[in-house]
Chain A
Amino acid sequence: METGTIQKLESLLLISVPRDLMDEEVLRLRREVAQEVRRHRSGWVLLDFSQVDICDSFFGRFIQSMADMTGLMGAKVIVSGLQDAVIETLVELGMTLPAIQAVLDLDEALAFSRSGQSNGHITPTAPLEEPLFGLTEV
């Protein structure tokens, strides 16, 4: 059974989480991620959930524990592509993943990791490449 693809992109480890993960597969995926983080000395772990459309409390704890674990290994977790229904469930379960940076999709995740930000808020130091609506940058 495929437990998700783990790819290394620059300093970032991209994990595409497949839909319909069984509980034991989740645990295996977590172990594999830990091994890969150690191997590549990645600074960021990007979990892409765009294929996941069903969520339960175990799954929410999986995300949280993954973040805690990779944090211990010196990497930060970005979560991307959470679907609306999954978010609703997580919020209802009270699993708001406070320590984790969430972004809309992979594009945003890449931009975010490149900007090198490590705090929770989106306050990029690097200015955007193009001014918005012709507004002048200062």
Chain B
Amino acid sequence: MTTINELQKRITELETELTEVRLNAQILRSVIDATPDWILAKDQNFRYLLANQGYAEAIGRQPSELLGKDDLELGFPEELVLGNPDKKIVGFRTDDRKVLAGETIHNPYDPATVADGSLRVFDTLKMPLRDEAGQVLAVLGFCRDITEREQARKALNQAYTEIEQQVQQRTAELQREKNISDAIINSLPGIFFMYNAQGNLVRCNKVYQETFGHTDENLPNVHVLNSIPEDQRNLLIPKMQRILTEGGQATLEIQLKTRTGEHTPFYVMGQRLVVGEELYLVGTGIDLTQQKRIEAEREHLQQEVIDAQQRAIAELSTPVIPIMDKIIVMPLVGSVDTMRARDITRSLLAGISAHRAKVVILDVTGVAIMDTGVVNHLNKTIQAARLKGARTIVTGLSDSVAEAIVDLGIDWSGIETLSDLRTGLVTALDSLGVKLSQNGS
């Protein structure tokens, strides 16, 4: 009796356990059906032992329909199941066999056609399902649909490639631009410079490098003050600061310290360059040494020519002729203006000193116009000669000039005039106490 009771008790226990197991199975079933991944298991004859909702739906069936059937029976194309070496399709079964042999296969990129005919990509993991003794019972498969992920990845890859191409293209463009600008700044006859707001050299041309003797290596360490002599800084630094803060441009002539340490004149043009937030000072400069030298030479030559001409003119226009001891004659020709009058006076004073003259005969036969100005000039000349101790006699006033003088009312007093040079000479000799005998005896 006890046996029956025990059995009944045992049955009750088992029923309770069964209920629990069913519950667990149900929970498990719900879990595997809830996941969008495919979960499946095939026995050694490749028949389905397990298929979750996701998988069954993907091939257009109910999970229960799959149990006990193989892939071919479920309508998968033969080449997908058994493989087709021509199309490089391995086939489900080949994989399944390997797994049954104890291998685990992970295929992260496994394209497959699903029930609605669309091509999906799967990350497939197939592993052997073993019993307690370690014998392989079945193939357990997990497939995760990674089509979207793959698409996203592909799109990302493509975008990345495109960006890379654009970057390369842009880099090439920039390089081309740099080559062009390099060619431009290197073709300048003078120096080119670009300093940042701290005064460090950012860019320059070959002429700059040569002029200031910078090698490629020390270019990054070059500062604007390197080339500006101390005595020019007070002038230049405020100017540069003003350009940087206010913009605009400036041109000026300055001395720069070149490679040899010499101060060389430069004509420099500078302006502000704004790149984003950064301020730069860019500009060019031309070495004026050559130009200055040529200018100086030309000026010198010009001055020499002018001097020579003036000397020639002065000598020609104000000749002092010593005709006898203590008597000099100065014939005036042409117009008498202020400059000329000064030359005449100087020349006459020098003549008086040189010849120790006591009488000067100023012959104005060649003076075409005699007006107040000329008379004033002559008066001054005569006074100057007097202060040098010489008496002046003016000769050679033509009758028309005499008429003009009277008509114009010019004050002629104080000037001793005689008609011609001959009379003047006689008077001069007379005043020196020498008498000329008229008959030549």
Task: Decide if B433 touches A128 in the complex (CB within 8 Å).
Answer: yes
The answer to whether A138 and B437 touch (CB under 8 A), given A84-B350, A132-B324, is: yes
Which size class do B's interface residues fall under?
20 to 34
* Interfacial chain A residues near B120, Cβ < 8 Å: none
Determine if A103 is an interface residue (Cβ-Cβ < 8 Å).
yes
Determine if B242 is an interface residue (Cβ-Cβ < 8 Å).
no
B342-363 interface code vs A (CB 8 A; 1 in, 0 out)? 1001100110110010110000
* Interfacial chain B residues near A82, Cβ < 8 Å: 387-388
Q: How long is the Cα–Cα vector from A121 to B358 in the complex, in angstroms?
A: 10
Determine if B434 is an interface residue (Cβ-Cβ < 8 Å).
yes
Q: Which of B196-204, B261-269, B378-386 contacts A (4 or more CB under 8 A)?
A: B378-386
**Within B317-359, which residues are at the interface with A (CB < 8 Å)?**
324-326, 342, 345-346, 349-350, 352-353, 356, 358-359
Q: Which of A33-41, A65-73, A85-93 contacts B (4 or more CB under 8 A)?
A: A85-93
How many Å from the CB of B426 to the closest CB on chain A? 12
Main secondary structure, interface of B, reads mixed
**Within B296-333, which residues are at the interface with A (CB < 8 Å)?**
324-326
- Which of A88, A108, A132 meets B389, CB within 8 Å? A108
How many Å from the CB of B330 to the closest CB on chain A? 15
The answer to whether A91 and B380 touch (CB under 8 A), given A97-B387, A121-B391, A128-B433, is: yes
Main secondary structure, interface of A, reads loop
* Interfacial chain A residues near B342, Cβ < 8 Å: 88
The answer to whether A91 and B324 touch (CB under 8 A), given A104-B388, A122-B431, A128-B432, is: no
Determine if B178 is an interface residue (Cβ-Cβ < 8 Å).
no
Task: Decide if A96 touches B386 in the complex (CB within 8 Å).
Answer: yes
Determine if B435 is an interface residue (Cβ-Cβ < 8 Å).
yes
Task: Decide if A135 touches B432 in the complex (CB within 8 Å).
Answer: no
Q: How long is the Cα–Cα vector from A136 to B433 in the complex, in angstroms?
A: 11
The answer to whether A104 and B433 touch (CB under 8 A), given A80-B389, A91-B345, A133-B325, is: no
Task: Decide if A137 touches B356 in the complex (CB within 8 Å).
Answer: no
* Interfacial chain B residues near A121, Cβ < 8 Å: 391, 431
A119-136 interface code vs B (CB 8 A; 1 in, 0 out)? 001111011100111011
Which size class do A's interface residues fall under?
20 to 34
Q: How long is the Cα–Cα vector from A123 to B387 in the complex, in angstroms?
A: 16
Determine if B368 is an interface residue (Cβ-Cβ < 8 Å).
no
Determine if A45 is an interface residue (Cβ-Cβ < 8 Å).
no
Determine if A26 is an interface residue (Cβ-Cβ < 8 Å).
no
How many Å from the CB of A95 to the closest CB on chain B? 9
Task: Decide if B325 touches A88 in the complex (CB within 8 Å).
Answer: no
Task: Decide if A102 touches B386 in the complex (CB within 8 Å).
Answer: yes
Determine if B89 is an interface residue (Cβ-Cβ < 8 Å).
no
Task: Decide if A138 touches B353 in the complex (CB within 8 Å).
Answer: no
How many Å from the CB of B348 to the closest CB on chain A? 9
What 7 A-B pairs are tightest by C-beta distance, nearest first?
A103-B389, A138-B435, A96-B383, A104-B389, A84-B349, A102-B387, A127-B433
Enumerate 23 A-B pairs (CB-CB under 8 Å) in ascending A order: A79-B387, A84-B350, A88-B342, A88-B346, A90-B384, A91-B384, A92-B380, A96-B383, A96-B386, A96-B387, A102-B387, A104-B389, A108-B389, A122-B391, A124-B432, A124-B433, A127-B433, A128-B433, A132-B429, A132-B434, A135-B429, A135-B436, A136-B435
